[in-house]
Amino acid sequence: MTRKRVSQATQDAVLLKSKRRCCICFGLQGDIDLKPGQIAHLDKNNQNDAEENLAFLCLTHHDQYDSITRQSKNFTIGEVKHYRVRLYEKLSEQFDNLTFFENKDNAIDDSIPGLYIRTGTPHSAEIQITRLLDGRYHVSADAVWVSPYHGGAHLGQIEFSSDLKESTIEYIDFSDFSDDRPNYKLMLIFKNNNDLIAIEENAEWATFLGMNVRLAGDYIKSS
């Protein structure tokens, strides 16, 4: 059976609603962390690309869900759909409140703050931007690199505050004082209300990013 690719619009919808949180991790343990993962077909029919049939699962739970085991009761479709409803509720609660409080403190209309999710790559990344009272922006970025060989993952995290200049927030890491290494640089370029492009320089030298972890790429605003 040839595998039909899930349409980009449906993929985006699932990624934006799940914010790359695994519904089984959340349902079983209340774990709401960003995870490297994949979009699973809940009825195990790869041709059924209805959004209702799709859920973002972490790599471990995706493997487990798809595996056929007679030893123990596997996850059921009803169970995962239930967790998915609860996860989506929890996420919209959490992120909608965040937006509400931000807006309340902002005198001016500002479309920059929000959560941005990277698209077009299996390696998850997200950037959370809030506006500070002094007018600068606080940026918290997380990224994951998933090994294609063993499924293991490396993580990276950056947090900083900076100004917005000509639709760009720029960050240069001066924490490494050794002369022989170039400074890491990150540029977040806001294209319109919903997109941002991240460009990096010298990422291979950044000790705060795990091996192969990158923040560069195209992001869509999710809240």
Own/partner pairs for 67-75, CB < 8 Å, 24+ apart? 75/24
* Residue 138 burial (C-beta neighbours within 10 Å; 0-12, 13-18, 19+): middle
Taking CB under 5 A as the criterion, which residues in 59-78 touch Zn ion? 61
Out of 15, 25, 54, 143, name the contact with Zn ion by CB under 5 A: 25
Segment near Zn ion (CB under 5 A), from 16-24, 72-80, 81-89, 171-179? 16-24
Q: How far is the CB of 64 from Zn ion (least distance, A)?
A: 8
CA contacts within 13 A on the Cβ side of 138: 8
Question: Which helix (H) or strand (E) covers residue 63, if one does?
Answer: helix 59-66
Out of 15, 24, 117, 129, name the contact with Zn ion by CB under 5 A: 24
Q: How far is the CB of 27 from Zn ion (least distance, A)?
A: 9
Out of 14, 22, 34, 206, name the contact with Zn ion by CB under 5 A: 22
Does position 186 interact with Zn ion (CB under 5 A)? The reply is no
Segment near Zn ion (CB under 5 A), from 19-27, 97-105, 110-118, 202-210? 19-27
Segment near Zn ion (CB under 5 A), from 53-61, 80-88, 117-125, 203-211? 53-61
Does position 144 interact with Zn ion (CB under 5 A)? The reply is no
Does position 58 interact with Zn ion (CB under 5 A)? The reply is yes
Are the beta carbons of 145 and 123 closer than 8 angstroms?
Answer: yes
CB closer to Zn ion, 83 vs 184? 83
E strand spans, the chain: 37-41, 54-58, 114-119, 125-131, 137-146, 153-162, 164-165, 168-172, 185-190, 195-201, 217-221
Q: Tell me how crowded residue 164 is: count the other CB atoms within 10 A of its CB.
A: 17
CB closer to Zn ion, 40 vs 143? 40
| Residue 196 vs residues 156, 161, 169: alpha-carbon distances, Å | 19, 17, 10
* Residue 140 burial (C-beta neighbours within 10 Å; 0-12, 13-18, 19+): middle
CB closer to Zn ion, 41 vs 61? 61
CB closer to Zn ion, 17 vs 61? 61
CB closer to Zn ion, 8 vs 74? 74
Q: Can you tell me which residue has the tokens 């900076």?
A: 162
Binding stretches for Zn ion (CB under 5 A)? 22, 24-25, 58, 61
